[in-house]
Amino acid sequence: MGEKVTYYSFAENDYWFLKANVEEKRVSNAMCATAQNICEKYLKEIIKDVANVTGDTDIMKTHSLKRLKRFIEVHVPEFECNWSVVVPADGYYFSARYPGEDSYFVNEEDVEECWRAVQETKRATDSYLERVNEKIRTESETLDLERHKRTLKQRMKR
């Protein structure tokens, strides 16, 4: 059976690809576009359930880090991220992938800026998911303990 397919697993797959290219000191438009897309995927992992609950599923189609940031600030305020590091990676998805009025070729500073955005988004996402999973484990253990106590009480009555 293969790896679970999630926004997070796709982000991780791209993360390792980009990391190898950054370490090789490569510079290409694809790297910055991929970096923005990695940030999107990490952030979409955070909001996917909330978007379904709120009915704002259009947010899952966006390529705008700024729009994802706004959604998270409203709906997942406990997500802690240094947005000033992440937001500069916004806009590469189109400007670095397709020719047009706003297109350009990236340079080394662009790649470094985008790589920092990816690292911050990954750090924030991993930290948030760790806290959520710990909360779920704690709640589950509490429920198991309460269930165990009820079972013991029922047995003691017999």
For residue 2, being part of any structural domain is answered with no
> In this structure, what token pair is assigned to residue 41?
């995927």
Alpha carbons 79 and 100: distance in angstroms, whole number: 35
Assigned domain for 1 exists = no
Q: Could you give the CA distance from residue 48 to residue 33 in angstroms, rounded to a whole number?
A: 22
Per the model's pLDDT, the better-predicted residue between 134 and 67 turns out to be 67
Residue at 81 is within a domain: yes
Element (H, E) at 76: none
Mean pLDDT of all residues belonging to the chain: 90
**Structural domain for 69, as ranges:** 7-157
Q: Are 39 and 123 in contact (CB under 8 A)?
A: no
- Provide the number of structural domains found in the chain: 1
Domain assignment present for 41: yes
Beta strands in the chain (DSSP E): none
Instruction: Give me 24's structure tokens.
Output: 């090789």
Inside any domain, residue 28: yes
pLDDT tens-place string over residues 93-112:
888 888 888 899 999 999 99
pLDDT attached to residue 35: 98
**pTM for the full predicted model:** 0.84
In a domain, residue 61? The reply is yes
Q: Please report, for the domain that includes residue 112, its CATH number.
A: 1.20.120
Give residue-wise pLDDT tens across range 15-39.
Answer: 999 999 999 999 999 999 999 999 9
